[in-house]
């Protein structure tokens, strides 16, 4: 069995507890306007042209984004950081893209990790079929679940996908005994309003094992990726949230009794 990844990043501290290795999988059905990993959209590896400076010369060079790997190869790479997992309570996080686009591959990777006593987490948009979602969630140790909006029309407009299957998976029985971190992107012009926060809080309050909420303020860091990939950057001119706006969101959820982190 092979799967497709575009990066495996060691020493991550924003993708679950402790020091972690983040496995970035290719493929995503959503097209969130603010996506920071547009190179993950397509499932298969693809070639792009990048500019590289050699001395005084600017050279255009081909670069392949993504590669095919086996679960055993992923395990071998993750094991390189095992000593840091043991000292920090860390492990491996499967992210992307949307890891549930490759459920069988991710499931086999998780089982290999468990066989080596490595804590696992999955970072998901929740946009997946119920059976695929349940099969992976049952095996993993922790869920990082994105909640982007509570209005179906705005969710469809800004992410390219329906909200209903995401909420269905969030409320599913399989989530009831798994530690959960809810991740909320703060995107101006999309979801930064108290009425949205209030509906989110209502939904989140029904989770049995919520650890905390991560607020993720939108930033422009990925703009250059869209240029390199030849993809339209739909966030042109959208400003980053200021500190006052982020504090307003944080205070709202804290006042509702939620544990909170800013920036993941």
Average pLDDT over residues 17-40: 96
Percent of the chain with pLDDT over 70: 100
Q: Give the pLDDT band of residue 55 (cuts 50, 70, 90).
A: confident
Closest CA to 249 of 208, 213, 211: 213
Domains and CATH numbers, the chain: 3-262 (3.20.20.70)
* pLDDT on residue 264: 66
Helices 103-115 and 130-139 sit at what angle, rounded to 10 degrees? 10
pLDDT digits (tens, 9 = 90+) for 120-179: 999 999 999 999 999 999 999 999 999 999 999 999 999 999 999 999 999 999 998 899
The residue among 218 and 53 whose pLDDT is bigger is 218
Closest CA to 126 of 107, 108, 141, 148: 148
Average pLDDT over residues 234-240: 94
Phi, psi of 121 (to 5 degrees): -140, 155
């Amino acid at each position: 069995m092979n799967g497709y990844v575009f990066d495996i990043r060691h020493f991550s501290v924003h993708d679950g507890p402790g020091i972690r290795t983040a496995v970035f999988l290719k493929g995503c059905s959503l097209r969130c306007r603010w996506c920071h990993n547009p190179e993950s959209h397509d499932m298969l590896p693809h070639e792009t042209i990048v500019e590289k400076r050699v001395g005084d010369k600017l050279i255009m060079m081909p670069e392949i984004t993504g590669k095919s790997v086996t679960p055993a190869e992923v395990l071998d790479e993750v094991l390189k950081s095992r000593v840091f997992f043991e000292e920090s309570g860390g492990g491996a996080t499967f992210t992307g893209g949307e890891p549930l686009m490759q459920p069988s591959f991710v499931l086999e990777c998780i089982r290999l990790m468990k066989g080596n006593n490595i804590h696992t987490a999955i970072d998901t948009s929740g946009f997946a079929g119920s059976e695929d979602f349940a099969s992976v969630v049952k095996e993993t140790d922790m869920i990082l679940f994105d909640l982007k909006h509570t209005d179906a029309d705005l969710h469809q407009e800004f992410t390219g996908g329906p909200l209903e299957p995401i909420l269905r998976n969030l409320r599913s029985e399989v989530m009831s005994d798994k530690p959960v971190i809810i991740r909320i992107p703060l995107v101006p012009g999309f979801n930064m309003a108290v009425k949205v926060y209030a509906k989110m809080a209502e939904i989140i309050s029904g989770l049995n094992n919520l650890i905390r909420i991560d607020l993720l303020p939108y930033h422009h860091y990925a703009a250059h990726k869209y240029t390199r990939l030849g993809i339209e950057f739909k966030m042109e001119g959208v400003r980053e949230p200021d500190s006052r706006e982020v504090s307003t969101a944080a205070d709202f959820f804290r006042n509702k009794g939620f544990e909170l982190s800013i920036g993941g």
